[in-house]
Amino acid sequence: MNDSHYVHRNSGRRSSGTNRTSSGRNNGRRVLSEQEKEAVRRRHRERMRRKKRQAAMIQALVILLIIAAAVIFFVFKGFGFVFGKITESRQKAIAAQQFQIHTTEAAQTSSQVPETTTIEPTTTVPETTMDPNLVLSNGRYLDITRPMVALTFDDGPRADVGNRIMDYLEAVDGRGTFFMVGQLVREFPDEVKRMAENGHEVANHSWDHDIHLSRESSDYILSEFSKTDDAISSVCGVVPEVYRLPGGNISDTVNSTLSKPLIYWSIDTLDWKTKDPDKTFETVKAEVTDGSIVLMHEIYEATGKACEQMIPWLHDQGYQLVTISELLTYRSNNARTGNKGQIFCFPPVETTASDSSS
């Protein structure tokens, strides 16, 4: 601004002088000198530049506002998601707590449990919150007073059969136990991960299924099982808690060497021998009782096929399909053992006079 004032004053003074210069008058009109023209052009350019800068600034401001609005929107959405998760997990914790507290009366009068009444009901929880016998286990609810059966699948993994079996189990909120051979585990990592993630039991059936393992030294036996523990946990992050001996063959050396529970069975389906889905199913139908441990093999397609009928049938009969560790947890005192301390089954506790009075 100062600059332009200066130029005006200057040219005014000059035009009033007698000397005709290039900046003097011509026919009454003032002729601008080159310098002045240049100044005018410079001012014009300056104005244009300023306009452009302003336009650019406005544009930037608009973009900034849009970005800010988007950021605020997503931050709020994120908060909503996080708080949703927190509420959800709190709900689950409260529900789980309630099952363990023996408050049948309190639960019936909803006024005494204000926390649950304020929570919006989920699809699975409402009526079950009333039942003190329900426990949250491996991602679903178990009624610890109702019949349980453990289906066990040996000699895998084998993904095409194992995944099929897990599909049938999960469809009825069941879980299975997979006694795996260590040297096969790395061939089916996705299947083994699914077992662990979905609450099935990853279990140990030795490294290479040496049927004469029981005749070997303590070191040999230990390495067969520790190698398999390592292989399974490196694939899915879970260390097996239960073992099954190849062929169920045991010795005193095995007994003194291995410290985890050794799991036998009470129903031998002979699926490996018949490879007949109907016969496998019929055997289970005929022999199953509360607390049975069923022996099957994951490596036969016929066994997968047998499960397609067997699993829904067991569910319809009222059996809850559970893992061996669940039986060890909820029926810890009922394990029936034989054959040098191997566990055969978990029959229900017989109700005695002292039980019913407590």
Nearer to Ni ion, 154 or 224 (CB): 154
342-345/336-338 β-pairing: antiparallel
Q: Is 170 in the site for Ni ion (CB under 5 A)?
A: no
The residue among 64 and 211 lying less far from Ni ion, judged by its C-beta, is 211
The piece of 32-40, 88-96, 148-156, 330-338 that touches Ni ion (CB under 5 A) is: 148-156
Q: Which among 32-40, 149-157, 303-311, 322-330 is the span making contact with Ni ion, rule CB under 5 A? A: 149-157
List strand residue ranges (DSSP E) for the chain, in order: 25-26, 29-30, 134-137, 140-143, 148-156, 177-180, 201-204, 267-268, 293-297, 320-322, 336-338, 342-345
Lookup result for tokens 């509360």: 290
Angle at 167 between CA 163 and CA 171, to 5 degrees: 165
CB of residue 221 to Ni ion, shortest distance in Å: 16
Q: Closest distance between Ni ion and the C-beta of residue 153, in Å?
A: 10
Catalytic residue numbers read 154, 297
Q: Measured from the CB atom, is 248 or 348 closer to Ni ion?
A: 248
CB of 293: closest distance to Ni ion in angstroms?
Answer: 14
Closer of 154 and 170 to Ni ion (Cβ) = 154
Residue in the shown chain whose Cβ atom is closest to Ni ion = 154
Structure tokens at 291: 């607390």
Beta bridge partners of 154: 179, 297
Distance of CA 44 to the CA centre of its chain: 67
Nearer to Ni ion, 297 or 331 (CB): 297
Q: Which residue has the tokens 């407590």?
A: 358
Shortest distance in whole angstroms from residue 205 CB to Ni ion: 6
Residue 200 DSSP symbol: P
Q: Does 155 bind Ni ion (CB under 5 A)?
A: yes
Size of the site for Ni ion (CB under 5 A): 2
Eight-class DSSP state of 320:
E
Shortest separation between residue 299's beta carbon and Ni ion, angstroms: 9
Residue 273 host element (H or E): helix 271-274
Q: Which of 164, 238, 155 is nearest to 196 (CA)?
A: 238
| Residue with Cβ nearer Ni ion (148 or 180) | 180
Q: Answer for the pair 157, 304: CB distance below 8 angstroms, yes or no.
A: no
Exposed, middle or buried: residue 177 (CB in 10 Å: 0-12, 13-18, 19+)?
A: buried
Closest approach of Cβ 317 to Ni ion, in Å?
27
Q: Is 154 among the residues that bind Ni ion (CB under 5 A)?
A: yes
Evaluate the CA torsion angle 226, 228, 233, 238 in order and state its sign: negative
Interatomic CA distance for residues 175 and 139, integer angstroms: 10
Q: Which residue, 125 or 180, is less far from Ni ion as judged by CB?
A: 180
Piece of the chain touching Ni ion by CB under 5 A; list 32-40, 151-159, 267-275, 318-326: 151-159
173: left (phi over 0), alpha (psi -120 to 50) or beta: left
Scanning 18-26, 154-162, 250-258, 311-319 for contacts with Ni ion by CB under 5 A, the matching segment is: 154-162
Give me the least distance between CB of 312 and Ni ion, in Å please: 26
Stretch that binds Ni ion, among 40-48, 150-158, 186-194, 318-326 (CB under 5 A): 150-158
Return residues touching Ni ion (CB under 5 A): 154-155
